[in-house]
Amino acid sequence: VFDEVCETTGVTLKRFMSEVAMLNPDITELTVLFGAIETACKAISNLVKRSQLPSSETLGYQGEVNVQGEDQKKLDVITNDLLKRALRFTGRLGVLASEEEDVPVDLSGANKGVLIDEGERYVAVFDPLDGSSNVDAGIPTGTIIGIYEHDENCAIDPNCVDEDCSEQEAQCLANTLQPGTNLVAAAYCLYSSSTFLVLTLGSGTYGFTLDENLGEFVLSHPDIKIPEESSIISFNEANTPNWDTPLQETVAKWKAGKGKSGKKFSSRYIGSMVGDVHRTLLYGGVFGYPGDKKNPNGKLRLLYEGAPMSFIVEQAGGLSTTGKERVMEISPEVVHQRVPVIMGSKNDVQEVIDAYAAAQ
């Protein structure tokens, strides 16, 4: 529940969160996590901005390959550590999973050097620097975060032995593999001409812009509503010939101005999900990374890319689908699972869903 303050542009994120906590005492702990997210976003924004200076220690590659076979850039590793520490020291986190961590990290064990609060605990999933391959060319990048409730049964006893430990670890892993419908909050930070923090706590989508003079995020886009129909497509169109036929046909119609709305679509693709979704939220459109013949599940990861971004888009009145099912309803089986994603303006995404249904 929000009151007038939360709709008033110019209020700071801190003020917004304390207002939310006052009106909804049961999510007070969640607002503590957002304090950490806010600080991490500011710090990452500074790192990205300075990363191309010749004196920067964040230039180039780390020399490691992550579990998904991708070269890790120094910035991927630094931003992952930064976010991890920021979230961990809130004492509100039981477990976290990241694009840059092979397996979920349990934070609830008593020996982790962090005082864990007795109150509510959460699971955080994140991609610390999505689109990091773009950074060297000064192209926008972003951080994506999802927050789930933590199952109290998941805590690895530091004194456990063999089988007990693996059982507890399995429980913690299951705790991380929750469908998007269980998300209690999601956010992204976009590092671009401005730094933006867009969030949902499950009741609308709210956008904040960093005022660098104040060092504060201020509410610039209260209760974002994505236009119901649009004329923008945002896909890597080099993959078109490999897409499913229903999607190929729908996009071909849109380009010819022969879709349901009769509008002739234009194309905008940054190749940075956060930037592409942000534009889609504000201007309308359809952003997608669909499955194709080569990669049936596309490229984007369900847990820390597909699900949190779908939550934000749905809370702004949009839709998000694989073509065949709602992204939010898919239960991940593995942490780094990929998922086809088509999200954005309600009427246009519905047209894709209808085309898939008709082809069944």
CB of 23 to ligand AHM, least distance (A): 34
Angle at 291 between CA 288 and CA 293, to 5 degrees: 140
The answer to whether residue 119 forms part of the interface with ligand AHM (CB under 6 A) is no
The stretch near ligand AHM (CB under 6 A) out of 56-64, 89-97, 270-278, 313-321 is 270-278
The stretch near ligand AHM (CB under 6 A) out of 131-139, 183-191, 278-286, 325-333 is 131-139
Task: Quickly list DSSP for 107-171.
Answer: --SGGGSS---SS--EEEEEEEEETGGGGGGT--EEEEEEEEEPPTT----TT--HHHHHHHHHH
Q: Which one of Mg ion, ligand AHM, none is in contact with 271 (Cβ closer than 5 to 8 A by kind)? A: ligand AHM
- Using CA of residue 296, residue 234, residue 268, residue 48, what is the dihedral sign? negative
Site for ligand AHM in 290-319 (CB under 6 A): 299
**Which of 90, 98, 230, 272 contacts ligand AHM by CB under 6 A?**
272
Q: Which is nearer to ligand AHM, 188 or 217 (CB)?
A: 188
The answer to whether residue 131 forms part of the interface with ligand AHM (CB under 6 A) is yes
CB of 299 to Mg ion, least distance (A): 9
Provide the strand spans (E) within the chain.
61-65, 71-73, 93-98, 105-106, 122-130, 141-149, 185-191, 195-200, 205-211, 216-221, 232-234, 266-267, 286-289, 319-321, 341-344
Q: Which one of Mg ion, ligand AHM, none is in contact with 196 (Cβ closer than 5 to 8 A by kind)? A: none
**Which of 24, 28, 236, 350 contacts ligand AHM by CB under 6 A?**
236
Contacts 24+ apart (CB under 8 A), 261-265: 261/229, 261/231, 261/347, 261/348, 263/229, 263/230, 263/231, 264/231, 265/230, 265/231, 265/232, 265/233
CB of 207 to ligand AHM, least distance (A): 19
The answer to whether residue 289 forms part of the interface with ligand AHM (CB under 6 A) is yes
Q: Which is nearer to Mg ion, 130 or 276 (CB)?
A: 130
Q: Which residues bind ligand AHM (CB under 6 A)?
A: 70, 99, 127, 130-133, 236, 271-273, 289, 299
